[in-house]
Amino acid sequence: MPDIALDSFAYRQFDDPKYGGTKIEIPKQEFMSKVLEFYEQRKAIADEFQDRPVLVDGYAPFCKHLFMPNFDDSILDGAMEITAENEHLLKTAYEARNEKELPVLVRFFPGESVTPPVSKYLDLILYSRDQILKEHREMGINEVLEDAPWRLISIKGQSVPYEIPMNPITVMRNELISQGGSGVPIDRKAYMKSVEYWQKHAAIH
């Protein structure tokens, strides 16, 4: 049994042409095959050389990151730096990531207005199976999950092999598990780090 399974929350990155962020154009099964191949290779290296952990700790014990080189030129960065030349292109809208969540105000570059670079790396965000089941209970979602201990919930194309701060509104929403968050209280230091980054960057929709 694989250690990682693709969670249905991430399907929108493959299936929704209006998704705001990194879009994946290759089939889900092909994508996961590449991910699992890399994961097994990284595990072997870590076991032999005590290298950097394969799964890097995230913002809570149930969250991990798997960083890997991008393997497909269709995967582009999901955010861009705001400059004097592109600032006028920014838009805002109220959006929810699924029908169970409360819409929140977001700021973004319309995809047709900018040309993001091909991603150098992928940040694969994993939640534990137990955490996904907990969130599903809170939101009244009935879904049978595979037994894999980790669920891939989000894929971020980016230029660096380390975690980029999550958007401030996501940090806030995470307090509200009944409205699509993870139930983790706000960490002020992490929140201010997020603000510092996202004052200068915006997602691409």
pLDDT score at 90: 98
Enumerate the H helices of the chain as residue ranges: 12-15, 28-49, 129-139, 168-173, 188-198
pLDDT score at 173: 81
Q: Which residues of 98-133 are buried (b: 16+ CB within 10 A; e: fewer)?
A: eeeeeebebbbbebeeeeeeebebbbbbbbbbebbe
pLDDT score at 178: 62
C-alpha–C-alpha distance, residues 157 and 78, integer Å: 6
pLDDT score at 13: 96
Low-confidence stretches of the chain (pLDDT beneath 50): none
| Cβ-contact 104, 94 below 8 angstroms | yes
**Pick from 153, 173, 36: which is nearest to 102 by CA?**
173
pLDDT score at 47: 65
For domain 4-204, give the fold: YaeB-like fold (3.30.2310)
- For 155-182, the pLDDT digits (tens) are 999 999 999 999 998 888 877 766 666 7
pLDDT score at 157: 97
